[in-house]
Amino acid sequence: MKNIKYFIILAVSLLTLHSCETVELDKRENPNALSPTQADIDLTMNAILIRTGSFTNTIGTYGSELTRIRNMFGVNYLNVYSPATFNGVWNQAYADIMNDIRGMNAQIDGLEGGFEKHKAVGEVVEAYLIVTLVDYFGKIPYTEALDPSILNPAVDEGSTVYQAALDLLDDAIVKFEQPTTVSLANDFYYDNDYGKWVRLANTLKMKIYIQQRLVNPAAIGSFDDIATTGNYIQEGEDFVFNWGSNIDNPNSRHPLYNAQYSPGGPATWYMSNWLMDRMRNGQSVEDPRIRYYFYRQVDDVLSNVNPDTGEEKRCVIQTIPPHYDNNDILYCYPDNNRGLWGRDHGSNEGIPPDGFLRTAFGIYPAGGRFDDSSFEIIDGNNYGAEGNGVTPIILASSVDFWRAEAALYGGSGSAEAFLESAMTKHINYVRSFTSRSTQDFDESTIPDQSQDAAYIAEVIADFTSSTNDLRKLDILGDQFFISLIGNGTDAYNFYRRTGAPRDIQPNIEPNPGPFPRTLWYPAGEVTANPNVSQKEDLTIRVFWDDNPISGFPVNN
């Protein structure tokens, strides 16, 4: 009910904001117009917070697909995405969220005061947005962006934008620590617990520092300065956007649920064969999260494929690509034939009649079904948690993964201990999602917690027995990627920063072109702003990536 309320609030907020936008100049000139009120400010704040969840869900998809957390549809990296692909997420960041932040601040400045917490939350959100945009696109307009007197804002260096984000976060922390006079009407993330907002701001600073460790000799030290205080998000303080379960007026469900849980079965997206196989077969103990992540509609693959035509899954009857076969790479479906029905990285074959066969997103993060081995088809929109899932923005477990990475490069603490803590936190978080299911299921299929301990112990044993840091990075990368289903931004960053995991499934096309180090600028921005020139290719690196242009990361 809480999430339904949020989306009803959003519907009203967006309608009100849209109405205001169409007459904004007239209102400014009309002496009889109403002055801004707290209600106006809170409506804007509602939209900012909810749109941030939507922005993350969209942009995190690209990082997920490039890092095999989700299936990528396209064999040529240069053409997997077009410049037009990014128009929506770019506009949402600039025209919607950051423009709303500017508008809200202008409203606040016209009042008596007391809205410092609103401004502080806006600063945290803006810092997160601009860092994420730099991570995906490189140089971006920022200093001059959203200034109505500048029609064509110049682009800023990524390092400049990163510093601006740090400044925003420092200012937000000061505001959060001041006495509260007016709280947010609807804090969808931390329920007006400003201590948690401070810890989130510090966590974002840690993210900024770890991402700069290749180009900034002081980055690890700055990262550790925060880490040693413990004043960053802890278990139970994950920065996530919670979707609702309402289906109409408005539909508040997780977008992944909406796309897959409908009459006719999942007609959109395939699961990543690499991720399913890594969770099923990466260790001798199955990853206890696999039943939460994936829902199987069939109990095996081969008996559901015509052996003569391969109509349902053509790779079953096709020859294994030599670069897969020669390197013993997973192909077509995870072994043991357990009904895990996905696609290989880059596979762009046509869509066969497999809606009632392919594996679907499970209860985490999409709010779908927990896999209790019932193997029932999905043929409607009322299964599992009915879309009451999450879009992870930054998880407490991610901080420990960063700390493990930092420890391997001169930071304080034990990389082994941080890896164990990260895995434990994430598995505990995922386990909590069975309580969201509105549908009965066989609870005896929930993995016993002893499986958690055995799985973690085996990973840690492999990690500690590794004789070099590159192999340790591979193991760390595997586990980090597994934890990042629902938002692959940090996986995309880690992959470009470290090149790990090196044994990740390559593109099914043997010559897919260079791996994208940044993405195309949105077509709409290039057309509208002469100061934004389209990239010649996707080998242009973000400022913090000084790894080789050619041949990095390996196995693509």
Taking 80 as the threshold, does the pLDDT of residue 304 lie above it? Answer: yes
pTM over 0.85: yes
* Separation of alpha carbons 321 and 9, rounded Å: 52
Average pLDDT over residues 458-465: 99
- Measured CA to CA, the distance from residue 108 to residue 122 in angstroms comes to 12
Alpha helices in 110-157 (DSSP H): 116-137
- 68 pLDDT above the threshold of 60: yes
Tokens representing residue 22 in the block: 């169409």
Host H or E run for residue 265: none
Look at 33-47, 217-231, 466-480, 525-539 and tell me which has the smallest mean pLDDT: 33-47
Q: Per-residue pLDDT for 3 more than 90? A: no
Nearby residues of 506 by Cβ (< 8 Å), 6 or more positions away: 323, 324, 329, 345, 555, 556
Residues belonging to the chain = 556
Q: What percent of the chain has pLDDT over 90?
A: 91
Q: Residue 2 class from Cβ within 10 Å (0-12 exposed, 13-18 middle, 19+ buried)?
A: exposed
Judge whether residue 143 has pLDDT over 60.
Answer: yes
The alpha carbon of 451 is separated from its chain's Cα centroid by a whole number of angstroms, namely: 27
Contacts of 499 (CB under 8 A, 6+ apart): 473, 547, 552, 553, 554
Q: What is the mean pLDDT of residues 545-549?
A: 98
Q: What is the 3-state secondary structure (H, E, C) of 165-177?
A: HHHHHHHHHHHHC
177/99 Cα distance (integer angstroms): 25
Quick one: pLDDT at residue 465?
98
Q: What is the pLDDT of residue 113?
A: 75
Count the Cβ atoms, other than its own, within 10 Å of residue 319: 9
Instruction: Look at 215-229, 325-339, 421-435, 455-469 and tell me which has the smallest mean pLDDT.
Output: 325-339
User: 19: pLDDT confidence band, cut at 50, 70 and 90?
Assistant: very low
Cα atoms found within 13 Å of the Cα of residue 396, Cβ hemisphere only: 20
- pLDDT score recorded for residue 243: 99
Q: Is residue 284 predicted with pLDDT exceeding 70? A: yes
pLDDT of amino acid 9: 52
pLDDT > 50? residue 33? no
Band (pLDDT 50/70/90 cuts) for residue 267 is confident
**Tens-place pLDDT, residues 474-515:** 999 999 999 999 999 999 999 999 999 999 999 999 999 999
- On average, the pLDDT of the chain sits at 94
Q: Please, which pLDDT band fits residue 542 given cuts at 50, 70 and 90?
A: very high
Across 344-358, average pLDDT? 96
Query: What pLDDT, on a 0 to 100 scale, did the predictor assign at position 495?
Result: 99
Tell me the one-letter amino acid at 60: G
Average pLDDT, integer, range 360-368: 99
Q: According to the model, what pLDDT value does residue 21 have?
A: 34
Q: For 156-172, how does the pLDDT look when each residue is reduced to its tens digit (9 = 90+)?
A: 999 999 999 999 999 99
Within 10 Å of residue 490's Cβ, how many Cβ atoms? 27
Q: Is the pLDDT of residue 537 over 50?
A: yes
Tokens 């508040």 identify what position?
252
pLDDT tens, residue by residue, 307-328? 999 999 999 999 999 999 999 9
Q: Per-residue pLDDT for 383 more than 80?
A: yes
Task: Please report the domains of the chain, with CATH numbers, ordered by start residue.
Answer: 2-233 (1.25.40.390), 268-513 (no CATH)
Over range 247-263, report the average pLDDT.
96
Residues in contact with 525: Cβ distance below 8 Å, sequence separation at least 6, in sequence order: 87, 90, 141, 532
Looking at residue 36, its pLDDT comes to 54
- The upper half-sphere exposure of residue 14, i.e. CA atoms within 13 Å in the direction of its Cβ, equals 14
Rounded to whole angstroms, the Cα distance separating 254 from 200 reads: 23
Q: Which has the minimum average pLDDT: 264-273, 417-426, 442-451, 533-542?
A: 264-273
Is the pLDDT assigned to residue 102 strictly greater than 70?
yes
What confidence score (pLDDT) does residue 58 get?
99
Provide the 3-class DSSP secondary structure of residue 73: strand
Owner of token pair 């034990």 = 414
Residue 30: pLDDT over 80: no
pLDDT above 70 covers a percentage of the chain that reads 93
Mean pLDDT of 455-466: 99
Give the pLDDT band of residue 110 (cuts 50, 70, 90): confident
For residue 139, the model assigns a pLDDT of 99
CB 500 within 8 A of CB 473: yes
**What was the pLDDT predicted at 148?**
92
